[in-house]
């Protein structure tokens, strides 16, 4: 088991014009399309992923060249580094995803707050429903 895989499902996905997605693409190797069990919710102009036994969430799998460096700035971006006040909106955790070469363990950022008032993203694909202007 390695710690160098990352599953992303929102503003960090391949092809997303967000500055952090561009940085991730420059620092990591794209492995391919991937999916995970669970549900996706619209938090604001970004999604939140809640793992579960039902539903599928579409995303991308990356291999990190320098996992500790990349995960550190991603923890800052997701505001779940230790210095951020609790409760954190996200937490980083490992989970099994279905990648282009079968099942793999990967880091991902899981939405950690209640989702009762959030709109589900039907089909589990944030890019399919995201605004096309890069917002």
pLDDT tens for each residue of 60-84: 999 999 999 999 999 999 999 999 9
* Count of alpha carbons within 13 angstroms of residue 88, beta-carbon side: 16
Domain with residue 51: its CATH number is 3.10.490.10
pTM for the model stands at 0.92
5, pLDDT greater than 80:
yes
| Residue 134 belongs to a domain | no
- Residue 123, by phi and psi: left (phi above 0), alpha (psi -120 to 50) or beta? left
The count of structural domains within the chain is: 1
| Residue 105 belongs to a domain | yes
CB 33 within 8 A of CB 60: yes
CB 99 within 8 A of CB 31: yes
CB 48 within 8 A of CB 118: yes
The pLDDT assigned to 130 comes to 63
| Residue 94 belongs to a domain | yes
| Nearest CA among 11, 38, 12 for reference residue 97 | 38
Mean pLDDT, rounded, for 111-124: 96
Displacement of CA 109 from its chain's centroid (Å): 5
| Residue 30 belongs to a domain | yes
| Residue 25 belongs to a domain | yes
Tens of pLDDT, residues 14-49: 988 899 999 999 999 999 999 999 999 999 999 999
| Residue 95 belongs to a domain | yes
The pLDDT assigned to 2 comes to 65
| Nearest CA among 57, 67, 68 for reference residue 110 | 57
| Residue 135 belongs to a domain | no
Token representation of residue 95: 């989970």
135, pLDDT greater than 60:
no
Q: Tell me what the pLDDT averaged over the chain comes to.
A: 93
6, pLDDT greater than 90:
yes
**Structural domain span for residue 74:** 5-129
| Residue 87 belongs to a domain | yes
- Collapsing DSSP to helix, strand or coil, 9 comes out as coil
Task: Label residue 129 by pLDDT band (50, 70, 90).
Answer: confident
């Amino acid at each position: 088991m390695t710690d160098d895989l990352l599953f992303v499902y929102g503003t960090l996905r391949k092809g997303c014009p967000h500055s952090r997605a561009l940085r991730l693409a420059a620092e990591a190797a794209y492995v391919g399309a991937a999916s995970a069990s669970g549900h996706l919710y619209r938090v604001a102009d970004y999604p939140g992923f809640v793992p579960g036994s039902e539903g599928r969430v579409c995303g991308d799998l990356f291999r990190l060249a320098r996992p500790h460096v990349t995960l550190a700035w991603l923890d800052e971006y997701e505001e779940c580094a230790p210095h951020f006040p609790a409760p954190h909106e996200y937490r980083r955790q490992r989970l099994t995803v279905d990648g282009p070469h079968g099942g793999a363990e990967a880091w991902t950022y899981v939405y950690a707050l209640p989702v009762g008032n959030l709109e589900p993203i039907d089909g589990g694909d944030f890019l399919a429903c995201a605004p096309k202007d890069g917002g």
